[in-house]
Amino acid sequence: MVTTPQQLRELVAAGEWRQPTAGILDDFQQANLVIVPAAQAWDLLLFCVRNPKVCPLLAVGEPGEYLLSAGNTRFDVRSMLPRYRVWHHGELVDEPYDLKQHWRDDAVTFLLGCSHTFDGPLRRAGIPVSHQAPPVYITNIPCVTAGKIGGPMAVSMRPVHHSKIAVATGVTARYASGHGMPVHYGSPEAIGISDITAPDFGVYPGLEEGYVPVFWACGVTPQIVLPPLKPEWMCSHYPGHMLVLDDSVDFFSLQQG
């Protein structure tokens, strides 16, 4: 039983935890990862700033920096996420459990908030969510372009009983660092999702009678919009396999307000 984020990060770094991080430590800030060469960093930073619900920035590193701080957590970005993805020229070449052999001196790390972050607050508001990694879909909602970077938003989905939709909206609106309030309720087709049972990533949890699919912006989006630009090199977390930080769910969302 993992009881603290630090313990989880140590297990991960030792190769003893390779699972998703949904359903555990859900009262702590969890984070998406994207790493690009310094030459692409300006466009990506601008993309994050222009799409704050999609890419809520928690930390940005200096070129080559892999020992990073976010809030009160110091971590090695190369080894403290359970799994990674690596692209060369837009082609997925590896899905390793460690980034050390892939690291570059010009690598700029972007750490983005994750919707796992509000699973705890939703639970305490009477809206329990699945302990499996939430399903993630590529939509037809366009992101705001920055330089060459643009394209469709990825979203995560949680089924919410129709009587609880306002509560789910109100609770998640408080957590900008968890992507904030939903971007869509109801019809998946309206946002370009043709088959709700077949997510691009994660696990479809089913939709019982009376439940409505509710969609939040997702930090997997950079993994969708960057590879078509064929950057020489880029890395990310493996969807659902997040960095878990020591600060509580409220910490980062309160930084802004």
Residues lying near its own copies in the complex (CB under 8 A) are found at 41-42, 45-46, 48-50, 52-53, 56-57, 60, 62, 147, 173-176, 180-181, 253, 255-257
Q: Report in angstroms how near the CB of residue 49 gets to its own copies at its nearest.
A: 5
**What does the buried/exposed string (b/e) look like for 48-59 if buried means 16 or more CB atoms within 10 Å of the residue's CB?**
beebbbbbbbbb
- Alpha-carbon gap, residue 191 to 188, rounded angstroms: 6
Say which DSSP state 220 is in: T
Which residue's CB is nearer to its own copies, number 178 or number 199? 178
CB 124 to its own copies: min, Å: 18
**Nearer Cβ to its own copies, position 53 or 88?**
53
Cα 115 to the chain's mean position, in Å?
Answer: 7
Coil, helix or strand for 101? helix
Residues in contact with 208: Cβ distance below 8 Å, sequence separation at least 6, in sequence order = 159
Nearer to its own copies, 17 or 215 (CB): 215
Specify the DSSP class assigned to residue 218: -
Other CB atoms within a 10 A radius of the CB of residue 101 amount to 9
Nearer to its own copies, 35 or 176 (CB): 176
Nearer to its own copies, 147 or 186 (CB): 147
C-beta closer to its own copies: residue 120 or 180: 180
> Minimum CB separation from its own copies for residue 172, in Å?
8
Compute the least distance from the CB of residue 38 to its own copies, in Å: 9
Q: Is the dihedral of CA 227, 237, 31, 180 positive or negative?
A: positive
Residues 6+ apart with CB under 8 A from 133: 20, 22, 201, 202, 203, 239, 240
Q: How far is the CB of 93 from its own copies (least distance, A)?
A: 28
CB of 79 to its own copies, least distance (A): 24
